[in-house]
Structure 1
Amino acid sequence: MIVDDSAVIRGFLSRWLEAEKEIEVVAIASNGVMALREFERARPELVILDIEMPEMDGLTALPRLVKLDPDVQIIMASTLTRRNADVSLKALSMGAADYIAKPESTRVVDEKEIFQRGLVEKIKALGATRRTRDRAAGKVAARPALKPVQTERKPRVVIGAKAPIVLRPFKTIPSPKVIAIGASTGGPQALFKLFEALKGKTTLPVFITQHMPGTFTAILAEHLNKIYDKDCMEAKDGEKVLDNRVYVAPGDWHMTVVNEGAVPVIRLNQEPPENYCRPSVDPMLRSLQAVFGAHVLTVILTGMGHDGLDGCRKLAESGAVVIGQDEETSVVWGMPGAVASAGLCNKVLPLQDITGAIENVIMGRPA
């Protein structure tokens, strides 16, 4: 279901999505009041929900939609402003699954194509997650939100691979000098819970790459700063790596660490996106492995795609500890699923158990 007060946006979203053989638009609404009425009639599995609308805005409609169907997947859509970034992060804590920043203009080809590709990928990933959980719970969907497709194309990314997970055994447990965290879809919610539990547990520097545009990463750092007991900030090019700091990769910049003399220093760059992402988790992990070797404790949280797989492979080869979030507590089990399925994880754990595993590794115990 598409919910947006702009007829233009409703129109091009509907055309884009109906052009996808696997997606069906079952309802369209121009505000929250209409959305609630249409939701009860159409029972969509996923909703694209605008934030700013007359009569009833998206933030007001969100909990009411979730009350009607606790399993509904909701993507918040907003223009890229500081206020909307803040509202979008608040919406994630209220039950939204993800967010997407609207392009400033649909006439700019690159912006439009990036937005369209990102939205379609999010819908397919969240739709697959919803239906997997429905099947596991013995639920039968009212209609196929993802239409059957007659095609021989193989999916580019496997979401929630079902092959048995083989854990990489602990040989020795290197004392970590830094913690690295990679996340995408569902990441902000997971980060808030993780850092709330991590308070007082470590003084190690923490590096976070979360797939987000620039305005959003600044707000994310501010939210983490309110939750955690250490300084959380967007990373700045050239700053020294210090204990008791959390560094968030700024939107549209890869965050890496290099040794300058004997001092680890943060370097930001705008080299091409990796895995369609900038910031990307892989450049961060590769750089940390080059500087700290096996002394990097890595956590891969919920997210679609496979960003982080290459970096985790290099870290695993060096003997570093890698922890992945499990499928049940992930919004989308793409990134952690890719790393786990490749046999790179020492542990695959529910989100609520990851803090304890981090503490164990820091203390030299198996996670």
Structure 2
Amino acid sequence: MTLPTGTQSRPPSSGAGAIRVMVVDDSAVIRGLLSKALEQDPDIEVVASVGNGQMAVNTAGRMEIDVIVLDIEMPVMDGLTALPLLLKASPRTRIVMASTLTRRGADITMKAMRAGAADYLPKPTATRDIHGADGFRQELVQKVKALGRAVRPAAPTGGTSGTGASTAASERPVRRPGDAPSANTRSAAPILRPVPRGFNPAIVAIGSSTGGPQALFEVIGALSPKRGGALSVPIIVTQHMPATFTTILAEHIARQCDIEAIEVSDGEVLRPGRVHIAPGQFHMVVGGNAASPVLRINQDPPENFCRPSVDPMMRSVVKAFGGRSLAVILTGMGHDGLSGCRQVVEAGGVVIAQDEASSVVWGMPGAVATGGLCSEVLPLAKLGPSVRKLLAH
């Protein structure tokens, strides 16, 4: 195979099941560091490394690529311009946007997610941060592997991956919302719990991760006053995102969904009809009681390797609202939210989750669904209407 000028690759060494990756960044140093971090995992093969969006589009049309790590700011053609062309040239490929931790970078990343990018990766601002940050390298590898498994499933080995993450069924299906179900979408139907008689939710708590922004726009948009009347309860959201990104997420939800949405500050009053989003790097919990709830933020240790984490939010919701808690778990890697949702159910509340076919990664929703905690497991388009129906009881 002959690669285009400016492209670097290594000889195939990981077998037919390796996830094939293209790295796109205008800095040759950054490309090299990203490629080195990826190639340390035996299940990943970096097959191309190019310096701008136009070269990426040309390469994607000629090579089999599972995942593209795509920079935003590049000469000739930037990442946001290249994104739809890459998806057209290689519809099966999943794209991770590499974005700097700036307001502009976060805003462009959010637009890219709405345009079809599968995920994003906050890019360190200095090469020494990439070289020396184990957390960044681990996140890069985990996201690439999760997004690559659907298009190039790993052969069964009976062991674990290079990062120690198992290839559990709940992590297999990785798709963009709207894709047709793939051969990997084959989990058995979960056993559902009945909605408790007289269930009257006082709060909606939503947890999401990989693919979450797109899902949040869909679900919260369906709850907008313009889609069926005033929202009578508060909504709280924990989305796995860094600082700055959560600020932009709140702004995009407010504009796109036509509903009041804020990034939470400590001591924020919990208001009906408003969406309250956990800030990056902080857990968000409900304080007080159902009569006078307030939101607190803290930097307690990460849970499930995440901060913000869904589990502490859910536990606090149960403490304040008991059986009047409605939990919604959307697309995401891992199992954050599982233990918190178990407490929701034990208190008499209700859990609903996004289904496997519409999830970008069916990790978090798959964990609560296969754990027997859900009253409904629904396609993304039906989740918002289901929440509205439960609120109308």
TM-score, normalised via structure 1 length: 0.91
8 Å Cα contact 2:33/2:130 also seen in 1: no
Tell me the distance in 1 between the aligned counterparts of 2:346 and 2:259: 31
2:235 matches 1:206: yes
- Structure 1 segment 281-360 matched on structure 2, within 5 A: 281-360=310-389
What's the CA shift for 1:294?
A: 1.1
- Structure 1 segment 7-156 matched on structure 2, within 5 A: 7-108=28-129, 112-131=133-152, 148=155, 150=157, 152-153=159-160, 155-156=165-166
The 3-state SS of whatever aligns with 1:91 is helix
* Aligned with residue 215 of structure 1, among 244, 250, 273: 244
Change (3 A) 1:262 1:353: closer
- Structure 1 segment 169-184 matched on structure 2, within 5 A: 169-184=194-209
* Aligned with residue 237 of structure 1, among 266, 274, 282: 266
What's the CA shift for 1:262?
A: 4.8
8 Å Cα contact 1:194/1:351 also seen in 2: yes
Answer with 227-236 or 115-124: which moved more.
227-236
8 Å Cα contact 1:169/1:346 also seen in 2: yes
Change (3 A) 1:231 1:171: closer
Tell me the distance in 2 between the aligned counterparts of 1:85 and 1:109: 19
RMSD over equivalenced CA pairs, Å:
1.9
The code of the aligned residue for 1:188 comes to P
- Structure 1 segment 182-201 matched on structure 2, within 5 A: 182-200=207-225, 201=228
What's the CA shift for 1:106?
A: 4.0
What's the CA shift for 1:263?
A: 1.6
Change (3 A) 1:319 1:261: closer
The code of the aligned residue for 2:58 comes to R
8 Å Cα contact 1:74/1:98 also seen in 2: yes
The 3-state SS of whatever aligns with 2:327 is strand
What's the CA shift for 1:105?
A: 2.9
Count of equivalent residues: 350
The code of the aligned residue for 2:266 comes to D
8 Å Cα contact 2:290/2:321 also seen in 1: no
Change (3 A) 1:105 1:159: farther
The 3-state SS of whatever aligns with 2:250 is helix
Determine the structure 2 residue equivalent to 1:273. Answer: 302
Answer with 323-332 or 252-261: which moved more.
252-261
The code of the aligned residue for 2:123 comes to K
The code of the aligned residue for 2:317 comes to L
Change (3 A) 1:352 1:164: closer
Q: Structure 2 regions of 5+ residues with no counterpart?
A: 1-21, 172-186
What's the CA shift for 1:158?
A: 2.7
What's the CA shift for 1:227?
A: 2.4
Q: Deviations over 1:108-159 (max 9, x none)?
A: 4897211111111111111123346xxxxxxxxxxxxx5x585633744735
TM-score, normalised via structure 2 length: 0.85
The code of the aligned residue for 2:94 comes to Q
The code of the aligned residue for 2:37 comes to W
The code of the aligned residue for 1:174 comes to F
The 3-state SS of whatever aligns with 2:74 is coil
